[in-house]
Amino acid sequence: MALTATPIYAQTPKFWGVSIVTATGFWAPSQTVVTNLVSLAAGGTNGAKIEAITVSTGDTVANRLALVLNDATNNYILAEFSIPPGAGNLTTIPAVSLLNNAQLPGLSSDPNGNKYLYIPPASTLYVGVVGAAVSAQNILSGVVIASTSGGFTNTASTSLISSGNLLTISGTLGGTGTITGYVNPTTYVISLTNGSTSFTLTTVSGAAIVTTTGTPTGLTYTIPVPILSAVAIGSLF
């Protein structure tokens, strides 16, 4: 952005959101490596102003979360935060505000006392779990193939099942019922669900699958659950 005597204000409101799942892995702090970091927000052409970053978790143990600024060459760890188990998912434990956290002192404040963070142009703000994270998975039980077009029923799930969730079936198919094209393991997408006791699967490309009704045995049905979710609110210049 060229220098000017005219004040410049953030122009385009933005919302960024990311999830960290078990498969993401944990980040070993490094000056340049961003493997296993997850991009939360980008500075774009002229930079960005971040006014809030909120983190929630469905994990059952605390996680160390790093907030990292990368200038396209080097990583700069702004701070590491302890995210308590269930933060933002349990009514008794609030989500964690990173910009208002004691781990990140020295930020500027607006006239209302709200902290904010500038991201320079061509830079990226990352988040990542430091150290091993617990495996967060929803494993379905009592699964029955209920239709000829990928419809299933199951024992009521303790975690919410959502359309768009990935579901991996693994194991050797036995019992009754078939899933055409199944090999061990295969990942599908849940295209339709009542949130607890029924779901319909498609391929990851969205194609319908062919099934025959029955009660299969020898299979495990696993839905990966996000360990951490981070959202940022701000504006691009």
Tens digits of residue pLDDT in 176-186: 999 999 999 99
The token duo for 103 is 């781990």
3-state helix, strand, coil in the chain (%, to 5): 0, 50, 50
What is the predicted pLDDT for the residue at 179? 97
Give SS3 for 23.
helix
Where are the alpha helices (H) located in the chain, listed in sequence order?
none
What residues does each domain of the chain span?
A: 12-135+227-236, 137-224
What is the predicted pLDDT for the residue at 131? 75
pLDDT band at 217 (very low <50, low <70, confident <90, very high): very high
Fold exhibited by the domain 137-224: Thrombin, subunit H (2.40.10)
**Contact present, 207 and 116 (Cβ < 8 Å):** no
Expressed in angstroms, the distance from the first to the final Cα of the chain is: 9
Q: What does CATH list as the number for 12-135+227-236?
A: 2.60.120
Measured CA distances, 124 to 33, 44, 50, 75, 121 (Å) = 13, 9, 12, 9, 9
What is the predicted pLDDT for the residue at 118? 93
Residue 171 neighbours by CB under 8 Å, 6+ apart: 184, 185, 218, 219, 220
What is the predicted pLDDT for the residue at 4? 59
What is the predicted pLDDT for the residue at 198? 97
What is the predicted pLDDT for the residue at 165? 81
Burial (CB count <10 Å: 0-12, 13-18, 19+), residue 152: buried
Residue 212 neighbours by CB under 8 Å, 6+ apart: 145, 148, 177, 178
The token duo for 177 is 């019922």
pLDDT at 237 over 70: yes
119: nearest Cα among 234, 3, 4: 234
What is the predicted pLDDT for the residue at 215? 97
Tens digits of residue pLDDT in 78-120: 999 999 988 887 788 999 999 999 999 989 898 888 899 999 9
- Per the prediction, the chain carries an average pLDDT of 88
Q: Over the range 35-52, which residues count as b (16 or more CB within 10 Å of their CB) and which as e?
A: ebbbebbbbeebbbbbbb
Q: What is the mean pLDDT of residues 29-40?
A: 92
Q: If you search the block for the tokens 């142009």, which residue do you land on?
A: 121
169: nearest Cα among 133, 216, 213: 216
Selected residue with higher pLDDT from 135 and 33: 33
In this prediction, what percent of the chain has a pLDDT beyond 90?
Answer: 59
Residue 128 neighbours by CB under 8 Å, 6+ apart: 20, 24, 26, 27, 36, 37, 38, 65, 66, 68
Give SS3 for 225.
coil
R_g over Cα of the chain:
22
One-letter identity of residue 182: Y
pLDDT at 159 over 60: yes
pLDDT at 234 over 90: no
What is the predicted pLDDT for the residue at 8? 60
